[in-house]
Amino acid sequence: MKFSELILNWYDENKRNLPWRLTKDPYKIWISEIILQQTRIAQGTSYYNRFISRFPTLESLANSDENDVLLMWQGLGYYSRARNLLFSAKHIYNDLGSKFPVTYNEIIKLKGVGDYTASAIASICFEEQTPVLDGNVYRVLSRIFELENPINLSSSRKIFKEKAKSLMSTKRCGDYNQALMDFGSLVCKPQKPLCGSCNVSKLCKSFINNSVLKYPVKTSKNKIKTLYHDYIILTKDRKTLIVKTEDGIWKNLYQFPVCISEKKQSKLYLQEYFKKKYNSSRVKISLINQKFINHKLSHLTLKSRFWNINIENNVAKGLFVSDFTDFPMPQLMRNFREKYKTKLSIF
Ligand code: SF4
């Protein structure tokens, strides 16, 4: 039996019941694929359900405003993906007559859609023979064929893509792609793969050669940058100052005013920084969290501290709020509020 048949047989018996598997609507598949790029299935499912019940159709998303979309996305991270979803929904609605593109070559032109998402939508919704490559697929292929090409090098991508295409079934293309990803996450797992009960073990070179855990091959990681975020909690009449972020990963989300540095800054430095920023004659700050709060992103570690601030002149400008519900905020802010809301009694 061919590899694709074995994988589809496995899928028919072990397929997970997930809400986006009940539809071929490209809009819903698109939303699910973008959400699942950044979260586990369990958490992704609840985000998907919330998002689809708020924006059930492409038209409803296209006619919404960014603040609402970011609020639905809050906590998922990678907010540029939410902004791109909205941009592309508006583009399909306004420029393409609400007709979702139907081929890989057209889908990939949408802003925020890369090879993975275009392949998934084209295969699942339109049965195009476009293999997907995610971490699970890389791992399965590298183990079965003992591929030595490091999976974290872009130069390996073409090799894996060609291999995946050569193995792909010509029928049930969408099922095949989903099968391979499910198989990777449930059977050919990163640690402790279930080789003993694996129905493709007879074809698997690394199993036959007892080298399973050597694969996938990775080169040493790129250095992850560290940034120091010093936030100030500035209150007036029991309301707290928040600001809209103008650029970067949290563009258009709300945060407390912040000083960002590549090294740890002293209290004195921060006092001078905020003194200048608010054109004040005297600023005093005091630390709220004694230990840095670490927030890890794929390419970056943020080390954050939060400071109470006492400021000589009255800061008039800015958005002072007591209820944060309507303001999309990064997970870091929400975690901080959750932890300190009783102690600070201002949130
Ligand atoms: S035999 Fe083991 S390593 Fe090979 S595909 Fe199956 S689970 Fe993965």
Per-residue pLDDT tens for 164-221? 999 998 899 999 999 999 999 999 999 999 999 999 999 999 999 999 999 999 887 6
Residue 139: predicted pLDDT: 97
Catalytic residue of the set 5, 13, 33, 146: 33
Hey, whose CA ends up nearest to atom 4 of ligand 1?
A: 204
pTM, 2 dp:
0.76
What contacts 343, CB < 8 A, 6 or more positions away? 288
Confidence of residue 298 (pLDDT cuts 50, 70, 90): confident
Residue 27: predicted pLDDT: 98
Q: Specify whether the backbone of 238 is left (phi greater than 0), alpha (psi in -120 to 50) or beta.
A: left
Pocket test for ligand 1, best of 141, 189, 195, 215 (most atoms within 8 A of CB): 195
**Domains, the chain, ordered by start:** 3-214 (1.10.340.30), 225-344 (3.90.79.10)
Instruction: State yes or no: pLDDT of 346 exceeds 70.
Output: no
Nearest atom in ligand 1 to the alpha carbon of residue 204 is 4
Residue 345: predicted pLDDT: 65
Q: Of the candidates 18, 17, 34, 21, which has an alpha carbon nearest to the alpha carbon of residue 175?
A: 21
What is the chain's mean pLDDT, rounded? 92
Query: In this structure, what is the dihedral angle of CA atoms 188, 193, 199, 203, given to the nearest 10 degrees?
Result: 80
Residue 187: phi and psi, rounded to 5, are -115, -60
Q: pLDDT tens for residues 12-36?
A: 999 999 999 999 999 999 999 999 9
Q: Is 162 a catalytic residue?
A: no
- Dist. CA 189 → ligand 1 center (Å): 8
Nearest atom in ligand 1 to the alpha carbon of residue 198 is 6
- Dist. CA 214 → ligand 1 center (Å): 12
Q: pLDDT tens for residues 206-223?
A: 999 999 999 999 887 667
